[in-house]
Amino acid sequence: MNKKAEYLGNCIHSFDEDGDSLIPLFNDVNEFAFADEESIEINFNKFIEITKLSKDDLQSFYSQDNIYLFHQASNSAFIYNKEEDIHQIFKVNNKEINMSNSALDKIIEIENYIKEKKAEGYHLLFHSGDKSKDDDLKYGIEPQFGEWLTEVLSGSIDMDDESFVEEIVENDHNQTCFFSEDPSWVSIKAQRAAKSDGFISDTSLETIINHGQLCIILVEADEDNEEFKRAGYRSDDYVEKSTYLFSDEIADYELPFGVERGDIYSHDVIEPDFTLTGIELAGFLARNYPKANLMKDDIRDIFKEYPEFDNTEPNLKNDIEKIMSKETEAPTQKRQKPKL
């Protein structure tokens, strides 16, 4: 029976002035430093799996600046706060640790987690970003008046009126982050990150892998949850209002700048459950959202290069083969040109 990991203390108080260890896991500070250097970074859910600790057990260590690490040779796990430069040290008692780091393993881990949470009544949301900003997005999607909103603003008002522009941009009400219920914005964000012009339907698989990024968020569908809002008052057509995502209660009587009917948005910092980039992102899309972002040739190329990704059951496989077939009469997927 695997036991919970034992918390041994932090790196500041675990070694004496001579560098000798005051905790049983290491002989001295050099051994600790080696374990830290050789550790692999894992996500929060993997940390829980390895340590058998609960979120409540770890609540006092929580920070958006945390990085989670595991060193298998010493059976040690660390929570490293990069802002404070402090390691919290845990002795792991779990002897059955699967540390496979293949792309497929991560995709399956995410799929299972989504399935589990949805069965518990959680709601699935996505936020698409820029691959180069993935390290920051892992620790929180922050409300902002970003590049896209700035471009929308420049096309709607006289930008020479600096005081009016500043009033809009710096208004806290207009600092938002956007979410969707499917990951179809990946192509738009990847194309913008690549500084590519043209239609979204021209976004290549290479662009998605090299520039695309996806945050996955599981939200408890509780009517008291006031983090997320949806534009468009549900009881009438007055679009200047929004309701909370899981209730009919009005959230904002005036929408933030750039928010349109149907948009899901938040004024809070939202920490994702998972982030995806590269081939892991492409594989997740191909397995779970074959009609979003990826074209027929993309799906064919992914499953050809990574046949282990192909999880489709016969009925779903037939649908994908229809999408991939050059002879199909189904219309080619169309995507609108981004608001540039």
What is the mean predicted confidence (pLDDT) over 201-220? Answer: 87
The pLDDT of residue 140: 92
Three-state secondary structure call for residue 215: strand
First vs last C-alpha separation in the chain:
57
- The answer to whether 277 and 208 have CB atoms below 8 angstroms apart is no
CA–CA distance, 129 with 141 (Å, rounded to integer): 9
Q: Which residue is it, tokens 């700048």?
A: 257
CA–CA distance, 294 with 306 (Å, rounded to integer): 15
Quick check: 19 pLDDT over 70? Answer: yes
CA–CA distance, 125 with 245 (Å, rounded to integer): 11
Quick check: 18 pLDDT over 60? Answer: yes
pLDDT digits (tens, 9 = 90+) for 86-96: 999 999 987 66
pLDDT digits (tens, 9 = 90+) for 160-193: 666 777 777 777 788 899 999 999 899 888 888 8
Q: Which residue is it, tokens 């994702």?
A: 272
The Cα-based distances of 144 to 32, 181, 234 in angstroms read 39, 20, 26
Confidence tier at 127 by pLDDT (50, 70, 90): very high
71 bridge partner residues:
76
How many Cβ atoms are within 10 Å of 85's Cβ, its own excluded?
Answer: 10
Among 2-16, 94-108, 227-241, 325-339, the range scoring the smallest mean pLDDT is: 325-339
Within 13 Å and on the Cβ side, how many CA atoms surround 32?
Answer: 27
pLDDT digits (tens, 9 = 90+) for 39-77: 888 888 788 888 999 888 998 998 878 999 999 888 899
* Residue 140 tokens, joined: 């929180």
What is the mean predicted confidence (pLDDT) over 21-31? Answer: 94
The pLDDT of residue 165: 72
How far does CA 136 lie from the centroid of its chain? 10
Within 13 Å and on the Cβ side, how many CA atoms surround 24?
Answer: 7
Quick check: 203 pLDDT over 80? Answer: no
Q: Which residues of 121-136 are buried (b: 16+ CB within 10 A; e: fewer)?
A: ebbbbbbbbbbeebee
The pLDDT of residue 314: 42
CA 228, 221, 127 angle in degrees (round to 5)? 45
What is the mean predicted confidence (pLDDT) over 298-313? Answer: 77
Q: Which residue is it, tokens 């057509």?
A: 237
The pLDDT of residue 175: 86
CA–CA distance, 20 with 7 (Å, rounded to integer): 19
**Percentage of residues in the chain having pLDDT higher than 90:** 40
Secondary structure of 32-57 as H, E, C letters: HHHHHHHCEEECHHHHHHHHCCCCCC
